[in-house]
Chain A
Amino acid sequence: VKFSRREWALTPSPYPSLSPEQKQELATIAQRIVAPGKGILAADESTGTMAKRLQKINVENTEENRRYFRDLLFSVDPSISQHVGGVIFFHETLYQKSDKGVLFPKVVKDKGIVVGIKVDKGTAGLNGTDGETTTQGLDGLSERCAQYKKDGCDFAKWRCVLKIAHGCPSPLAIAENANVLARYASICQQNGLVPIVEPEILPDGDHDLQRCQYVTEKVLAAVYKALSDHHVYLEGTLLKPNMVTAGHSCPRKYTPQEVAMATVTALRRTVPAAVPGICFLSGGQSEEEASLNLNAMNQTPLHRPWKLTFSYGRALQASALAAWKGQPANKQAAQEAFFTRAKINSLASKGEYKPTGQVDKAASQSLYTASYVY
């Protein structure tokens, strides 16, 4: 008996989801964002998150203050485009205008920088887990993406969160977050948006570097299997992972070289070479830490086929916020602070950052710790 039941054929002939032109567009956008020396300014803090940031400098969380601060960042000298390839927006900000009345996306685009948009709608609890979450926002996502594309966006961002604890991340959390990231990525690409895939593993906890590396490898393997299953075009995506670090409460401190070695090893074992760039989140690291670690990544003696660069929020803006304090008189100082961090991270993305007051050699201590196995 001859069977020709195509339903058994779970690998039928491909039904191309993207035309060659669509693929070309996505790949080009991705390459532009992570062009040599460039990274991403993550300015997509939600209203709630902005409240926390502004509270720290005793500034009221009004729409105008949020507009003012983003305007401060976006209106720096156009040469910022040598260091910043993309900016991630929050929805509100996409429709705000500069002091001169120009829509922010246009301000950013006119500087030759790609506009991105945060599209997820925050985390939601996974029942039966130890406080683990997935991320929501898939409903109507295709229509929202189409609109965002019209409104000037060329990439998107979606953040999933995992944590390391006893029993976490669980297989469910890993599978569910990988799956929802793949769905989001697939929908974005249909609408001409490059999806930045962000599976953040929180630094909370007292686990050591090795544990974080192990978990990161498992999570990323699941993410890329899900992306394959969902037929996502990898050349038109970016990855925004955590660096591999010990937990915040871990008694042992690791050097940037150890962090870099563990991180690059984990990425080499999981991220296909087709992915054009990996833009690290700063996740609570200080500005300097985030730059030193990124720099060490780009000096690691292991071969790296993707760009390793930054997608920093706090690590690009902390000094600027502190300098601004909500006073217009401080605007220029704040802009300089931001520009300085951008330049430093640009150098770090090429492994060329030489912090002043530190000897070059001291920064590149032995990369092989005897007892530690990567």
Chain B
Amino acid sequence: APLPSSLAKKISFSVTRLNRHLTAAVLFDAATLGGLRAKMPHAYPFLTPEQKKELSDIAQKIVAPGKGILAADESTGSVAKRFQSINTENTEENRRLYRQLLFTADDRINPCVGGVIFFHETLYQKTDDGKLFPQVIKDRGMVVGIKVDKGVVPLAGTNGETTTQGLDGLYERCAQYKKDGADFAKWRCVLKITPTTPSRLAIIENANVLARYASICQMHGIVPIVEPEILPDGDHDLKRCQYVTEKVLAAVYKALSDHHVYLEGTLLKPNMVTAGHSCSHKYTAQEIAMATVTALRRTVPPAVPGITFLSGGQSEEEASVNLNAMNQCPLHRPWALTFSYGRALQASALKTWAGKKENGKACQEEFIKRALANNQASIGKYASKGEGGAAAGESLFVANHAY
């Protein structure tokens, strides 16, 4: 902000005197000093009422009752791992063919999918008859999202902890993505539980970078999905995960407040509160639901329209059963609790496809089945049949997973 002229005069006067006397003295009057100290100005609104409404409408549309998110934003490297498990070559064409199968599944998925998260490459790919994928999704009444982070980088001096990069030029990239059809974005931060982590630095750094990302997105009419994932690796119990989740989320929402993020135009993508994968004690879906909903009630303001869980290596069935339990939890939940699943929507579909064109229909059936299951789970009406798709029961846990 420009200096008040009274102050400018005083400074120039003192500088002249400085030249003569070589003394350093800048004179302030009390009012100017108070003005300079005003770190609590009136809000400088950067979102107009129309912009706020647009963001809030988009967010509500994504988490409309029964709907959740298909996370199809696996990076090229992540897809490599997936395709390797089905002996399929990781070519651009194979990636296109596979995403096409998901995006062209029949109308049964319409009430189940509110949004789809894309990877950059996929946003510019087309169907066999030349239609851009974002357009396919939009025409089905679903919202197009884009992963905008550029992966994790280490935090020096920590026990293997990371922050996430991608802020450089994010402003311009968001403007372009909005033009190209995206209405929401996703940014993943990663924390882990060990006897010495997450450290205070990891928590505040990741919370801060999430808030910066969110702030930039909103300027371009893009709803930011805020994802502070706490990995399930380790042998810690449910209580420990709940404690850590509460601390992390408290820091995230304080950072969002500090960065003036419009909460009604955001979504949260957290981990469910679970014990570590190597924990000897096994917890029921109800215990997981209780711990998770409690943690969220203590940290996520009611203004946030929806919470879309990541599946983080849970099997397809586990992820549906747990989500269902969340929505049956007797504690009051002021936000929608739904899914943003990658592996937990695609595992069976992928296995069934096996890279072979003739398996296309069967692959889509598997995907539709999980979409319907999660649609039911998001309203607490999922009746687990005890048998899943080809891979529904297998644990999808990959040690120390990083996309």
Contacts and interface: CB of A to CB of B under 8 A. Distances in A.
Contact of B159 (A8, A169, A304): A8
A13 B297 contact: no
Interface stretch (A71-79, A85-93, A213-221, A317-325): A213-221
Interface in A1-42: 3-6, 8-14
A100 interface: no
A235 B331 CA distance: 12
B243 A210 contact: no
B253 A221 contact: yes
A170 B302 CA distance: 27
A23 B92 CA distance: 56
A269 interface: yes
A166 B334 contact: no
Interface stretch (A61-69, A239-247, A271-279): A271-279
A234 B48 CA distance: 34
Nearest to B191: A11
A171 B297 contact: no
Interface stretch (B123-131, B197-205, B283-291): B197-205
Interface string A208-242: 00110011011001101100110000110000000
A3 B240 CA distance: 20
A187 to B, nearest CB: 20
Contacts of B302: 268, 271, 273, 303-305
30 contacts: A8-B196, A9-B197, A10-B200, A11-B197, A11-B198, A11-B199, A11-B247, A13-B236, A14-B239, A14-B240, A166-B34, A166-B38, A169-B40, A170-B37, A211-B42, A215-B40, A217-B257, A221-B253, A221-B254, A224-B250, A225-B250, A270-B257, A272-B298, A272-B299, A272-B300, A273-B300, A274-B294, A303-B334, A373-B48, A373-B49
Interface residues of A, number: 46
Among B38, B39, B239, B301, max chain A CB count under 10 A is at B301
A8 B199 contact: yes
Among B40, B264, B301, max chain A CB count under 10 A is at B40
B39 A4 contact: no
Interface string A140-174: 00000000000000000000000000111111001
Contact of B263 (A211, A269, A305): A269
Interface string B271-309: 000000000000000000000001001111111000000
B195 interface: yes
Contact of A11 (B34, B39, B243, B258): B243
A222 B257 CA distance: 9
Nearest to A269: B303
B3 interface: no
Interface of B: 34-35, 37-40, 42-43, 45, 48-49, 52, 159, 195-200, 203, 236, 239-240, 243-244, 246-247, 250-251, 253-254, 257-258, 263-264, 294, 297-303, 332-334
Nearest to A220: B257
B43 A214 contact: yes
A4 B197 CA distance: 10
A130 interface: yes
B40 A167 contact: yes
A130 B39 CA distance: 13
Among B199, B239, B264, B298, max chain A CB count under 10 A is at B298
A20 to B, nearest CB: 11
Contacts of B199: 8-11
Given A217-B257, A221-B257, A224-B250, 15 more contacts: A9-B197, A11-B197, A11-B244, A13-B240, A211-B42, A211-B43, A224-B254, A225-B250, A225-B254, A228-B246, A229-B250, A268-B301, A271-B301, A273-B302, A274-B298
Contacts of A210: 42-43
A273 B334 contact: yes
A236 to B, nearest CB: 12
A305 B159 CA distance: 39
Contacts of A303: 302, 334
A224 B257 CA distance: 11
A235 B301 CA distance: 14
A190 interface: no
B285 to A, nearest CB: 21
Contacts of B200: 10-11
B250 A228 contact: yes
A169 B41 CA distance: 9
Nearest to B295: A274
Contact of A6 (B196, B299, B332): B196
A98 interface: no
Contacts of B240: 13-14
Given A166-B38, A214-B43, A221-B253, A13 B243 contact: yes
Among A166, A235, A272, A304, max chain B CB count under 10 A is at A272
B49 A171 contact: no
A265 interface: yes
Contacts of A273: 297, 300, 302, 332-334
A214 B34 CA distance: 20
Contacts of B48: 373
